[in-house]
Amino acid sequence: MNYSKMLDFTGKTVLITGGTGSIGSEFARAFASCGADVAIADINPAGSEEILSDCEKFGRRAYFISVDLFSVESIEEMVSSAAQKLGKIDVLCNHAGFNNRKNAVEYTEADWDKLIGVDLKAVFFVATATARHMIERKTGKIITTASVSAARGHKRLSIYASAKGGIRQMTKVLAHEWAEHGITVNAIGPGYVVTKQTEEYVKDPEIFKYLVSHIPMGRLGAPADMASVVLFLASEGASYITGQTIFVEGGRLID
């Protein structure tokens, strides 16, 4: 192993769902800065031109693909389009997701279908559609975004936690099934990261104080904290890691 080139992704290609979001766009910039060509897929194109231009500044090819993760047909079109534009898919960041905080008794069936639809069902169908390409090539790295909610019973997150806990188990089974095809499947479990999804919530000084007081490292996470772990999991250095969820949370889960 050439350790000094462990994060050299020259010639590699990456598909990122949730690619125009706060963390997903950081993944795109991180991979491009390490030499990869990237496709960012999202339902929301806002900001995509700037993200693509940032990636192109590293001399990489970068594409935006429109996808609605509620539709398995749209997921399959996204994967075909990414494979066609990039030529192949070496790395999948199965990352899109959202949150909706309510007391359990307040959720409706529509809330359940929407949250589970994007945060769990789509994650499965994005993984399987991409794995079909990877199985043919006998190589691939899949990294899904779970959450500390996969390991804790935080209030007002019952559906989200069900989805993220499901991702953790799904990661193990897919890793087991696809190991023989040269594919690793892992997840990251972010703690609190300030993003478009959480900025309103953490703006409340009481909530901010509470959250930080429960993080031994004394700060919320940044998209770069997540991107660096994803780069490692996608690298040759992580060839012998599969089926794992790596929590990236400043020590939030220690006690």
Ligand X SMILES: NC(=O)c1ccc[n+]([C@@H]2O[C@H](COP(=O)([O-])OP(=O)(O)OC[C@H]3O[C@@H](n4cnc5c(N)ncnc54)[C@H](O)[C@@H]3O)[C@@H](O)[C@H]2O)c1
Among 3, 63, 160, 192, the one annotated catalytic? 160
Which one, 44 or 239, has the nearer CB to ligand X?
A: 44
By CB under 6 A, is residue 72 in contact with ligand X? no
Which window, 2-10, 14-22, 178-186, 233-241, contacts ligand X (CB under 6 A)?
A: 14-22
Least distance in Å: CB of 158 to ligand X? 15
Classified as helix, coil or strand, 245 is strand
- Name the residue nearer to ligand X (CB basis): 43 or 135: 43
Residue 190 interacts with ligand X (CB under 6 A): yes or no: yes
Using the contact rule CB under 6 A, the part of the chain among 101-109, 176-184, 196-204, 211-219 near ligand X is: 196-204
| Residue whose structure tokens are 């190589």 | 139
For residue 164, the number of C-alpha atoms closer than 13 Å in the C-beta half-sphere is: 27
β-pair partners for 188: 145, 246
The tally of CA atoms less than 13 A away on the side-chain side of residue 233 is 30
Q: Which stretch binds ligand X (CB under 6 A): 51-59, 64-72, 128-136, 174-182?
A: 64-72
Residue 250 contacts ligand X per CB under 6 A = no
With CB under 6 A as the rule, give the number of residues binding ligand X. 28
Buried b (16+ CB within 10 A) or exposed e, 151-178: beeeeebbbbbbbbbbbbebbbebbeeb
Q: Which of 98, 107, 112, 232 binds ligand X (CB under 6 A)?
A: 98
94 binds ligand X (CB under 6 A): no
171 binds ligand X (CB under 6 A): no
Q: Would you say 134 or 161 has its CB closer to ligand X?
A: 161
Which lies closer to ligand X via its Cβ, residue 70 or residue 124? 70
**SS3 per-residue string spanning 22-41:** HHHHHHHHHHHHCCCEEEEE
Label the pairing between strands 91-94 and 13-17: parallel
Site for ligand X in 133-152 (CB under 6 A): 145, 147
Residue 65 is a binding residue for ligand X (CB under 6 A): no
Written as six digits, the tokens of 75 are 């997921």
| CB-nearer residue toward ligand X: 37 or 249 | 249
| CB-based closest residue to ligand X | 21
Query: Quick one: tokens of 61?
Result: 């090819």
- How far is 194 from 201, CA to CA, in rounded Å? 9
47: left (phi over 0), alpha (psi -120 to 50) or beta: left
**Is 160 a residue of the active site?**
yes
Q: Is 192 in the site for ligand X (CB under 6 A)?
A: yes
Beta strands of the chain (E only): which ranges?
13-17, 37-42, 62-66, 91-94, 140-145, 183-190, 245-248
Residues within the interface to ligand X (CB under 6 A): 18, 20-24, 42-44, 67-70, 95-99, 118, 145, 147, 190, 192-193, 195-198
Could you list the active site residues? 160
